[in-house]
Structure 1
Amino acid sequence: MYIPDIYKNENQEDITAFLKQNSFGILINQTNGKLWATHIPLELQTNKEGKTILEGHISKENPQWQGFTENDQILAVFSGPHSYISPSWYDHENVPTWNYIAVHVYGRIKIIEGDAVIESLKKLVDKYEQNSENPVRIEDLSQKTMMQSRGIVAFEIEIDEIQATKKMSQNRDDKNYQNIISELEKTNINQSIAVANEMKKCPR
C-alpha cells in the first residue's frame, strides 16, 4: 500500500486496537489464476506458539479456499471511518481530498481442522454475543445445528507484515485542522463524525 510518511501509522498498540475493533475485513488471494476476495470477520489472535495470527472461515462452496494450498500468500484489508474533505473548509484555495484509516495485513494462510475449528468458532461467537440480552454459546447448540460447521473451511493466517495508514489532515495547520473537525461534526453523517473523533485523538 502506498503510504506517504506523514500518514504512516507505526503505533503497534493503535494498530492492534484498530484490528480488534474493525475485524470485518476483505480476504484476498489468488485462486485458479484469478484474484479472489471475500468479506468476512478476521479475528486477531495469538496461537499456541505465541505468534500473532488472524483466524477466520469461509463456506466450502466458496472456491477461494482451494487456492490456500496452491499459494499460501494472502492479503487482508481492513477499513475504518472515512469521509470527504471539502476544500471550502480551508482558509485558502486547495483541492478536495478524503480522510480515512486502513490497515493491510500480509501473511501465510493454512487450513485448520478438528477441535481447532470449534475453538475458533467459540471465540468468534463469544466476542459478538457478549452484549446480547440472551447470549448464545457454541457449547449450548445442538449436535444437529453444529453439523453445519462441516460446511466451512476454517483457517489461520500467520502475519508477515502489517501496513497501516491514518490520513487525518495531519498536513494542515491548527486553524484549518480544527475547522475540518467542526465541519465534519456539522454533517450529521456517522462516518464523518467518526473521522472528526479520530482527528481529535490524532497526535499533532
Structure 2
Amino acid sequence: MRHNPHHASEDPGVVRALVHEHPWTTIVSNGPGGLVASHYPVLLDDTEELVALTHVGRPDETVHGFDGRRESLLVFQGRHGYVSPSWYAPGSSRAPTWNFTAVHAHGVPEVLDDRENLAVLTRLVAHFEQHVDEPMYLDQDWGARAAQGTVGLRIPISRFTAKVKLSQDKDEQSVQNVIDELRTDGPYSHPGLADDMERARGRDV
C-alpha cells in the first residue's frame, strides 16, 4: 500500500481489531504456477504474538506451494466507502477519495497435522456459531472425516502494513460532515464506516 504517515499504523492492536471484526482474508502466494489468491476465514491465536490460524481446501495447498519456506501475504479489509468532496467544509480539498481500513500481513505458513487441523476447524466453527440462535458445534467424528479435505495452517505474522484512512488529515468540520453524510439514506450511506470514523478520532459510538 502507498505509505501515508497520516494513515499508517504500527499498532498490532489495529491488526487484532480488524481481524476480529472482519475475519475473511485473501491469501496471496507466489506458487509453483505463479501468483495465486484464495479466500478463507481466519482467527488469531490466543498469544501475545500475531499468529493467524486458518485452513485451505485441497488442492489449494499445492496451488499455493506451502512448503514451510515460502512467504504468503494475507490481506484483510474492513469497512470502506466513497467520500465526496462536496461534503467537505468550504475551502477544503476538492478531491474525491475513498475511506477504508486495511492490513497486509506477511508470514510463512506452517502446515498443521491432522489433530491440529481438526482443532483449528473446531475453533473456527465455534467462533462463528456462537452468534446464531441455535449453535451447532463441530462433531469430532464427523469433523475428522471432513477435515481430510482441508489443510490447516498456522501463519506467524512476521511483519504487517496497516492503513487506517478515515479522514484524519481533514479539518474537524469536514470530518463531521462526512460522518453525517454517511449516516444519511443517500447512495453512499454507510453508518458502519461512520462508526469507524468516530472511533478513529477517539470518540465512543
Give yes or no for TM over 0.5.
yes
Q: How does 1:65-84 map to 2 (within 5 A)?
A: 65=63, 67-69=65-67, 71-84=69-82
Maintained 8 Å contact 2:111/2:152: yes
What percent of counterpart residues are identical? 27
TM-score, scaled relative to structure 2: 0.88
Which sits farther off after the overlay, 63-72 or 111-120?
63-72
TM-score, scaled relative to structure 1: 0.88
Cα distance in 1 for residues equivalent to 2:16 and 2:127: 16
Cα distance in 2 for residues equivalent to 1:20 and 1:76: 14
* Residues 145 and 169 (structure 1), Cα distance of their counterparts in 2 relative to 1, 3 Å cut: closer
The residue aligned with 1:174 is 172
Runs of 5+ unmatched residues, structure 2? none
Cα distance in 1 for residues equivalent to 2:17 and 2:122: 21
* Residues 65 and 169 (structure 1), Cα distance of their counterparts in 2 relative to 1, 3 Å cut: same
The residue aligned with 1:125 is 125
Question: Secondary structure of 1:26's partner?
Answer: strand
Cα distance in 1 for residues equivalent to 2:20 and 2:84: 30
Cα distance in 1 for residues equivalent to 2:66 and 2:153: 9
* Residues 108 and 163 (structure 1), Cα distance of their counterparts in 2 relative to 1, 3 Å cut: same
Distance apart, 1:148 and its partner CA: 1.8
* Residues 191 and 38 (structure 1), Cα distance of their counterparts in 2 relative to 1, 3 Å cut: farther
Distance apart, 1:11 and its partner CA: 2.9
Cα distance in 1 for residues equivalent to 2:133 and 2:113: 31
**Structure 1: which 4+ aligned runs deviate by more than 6 Å?**
none
Cα distance in 2 for residues equivalent to 1:82 and 1:66: 28
The residue aligned with 2:87 is 89
The residue aligned with 1:61 is 59
Question: Secondary structure of 1:172's partner?
Answer: coil
Cα distance in 1 for residues equivalent to 2:145 and 2:151: 13
Question: Secondary structure of 2:179's partner?
Answer: helix
Structure having the higher helix fraction is 1
Aligned residues: 200
Runs of 5+ unmatched residues, structure 1? none
Cα RMSD (Å):
2.2
